[in-house]
Amino acid sequence: MTVGRLVAQRRLEKNKIYCTSPRTINVSGSIDCICFDKTGTLTEDGLDMWGVVSSVDRKFQPPVKDIASLPLNDLLIGMYGHRRAPSC
């Protein structure tokens, strides 16, 4: 497992992706939804939805800021994934 992790870490670094906790690289392979809350994490007790950026065929799509136009089921699944996502 360690050799595979080292190979994966080097491949990530070649693409300028650095992981501060290399042991979480294996878990990261199973993540399909990531939510970022760069501002407010330490000062607010909640998460405000700015918008949704989806990916199709490994390419990011334009941000959707009007979340009311999204299918509710997909939005709830994404929020559930944020709540349960392991920390990297």
**pLDDT per residue over 3-27, tens digit each?**
888 888 888 889 888 888 877 887 7
Q: Are residues 20 and 60 in the same domain?
A: no
74: confidence class by pLDDT, cuts 50, 70, 90: low
Q: Which residues are catalytic?
A: 37
Q: Are residues 43 and 79 in the same domain?
A: yes
**Boundaries of domain holding 18:** 1-34
Q: Are residues 41 and 79 in the same domain?
A: yes
Radius of gyration (C-alpha) of the chain in whole angstroms: 16
How far CA 11 is from CA of 27, 30, 42, 47, 87, in Å, comes to: 16, 17, 32, 32, 20
Model confidence, pTM? 0.36
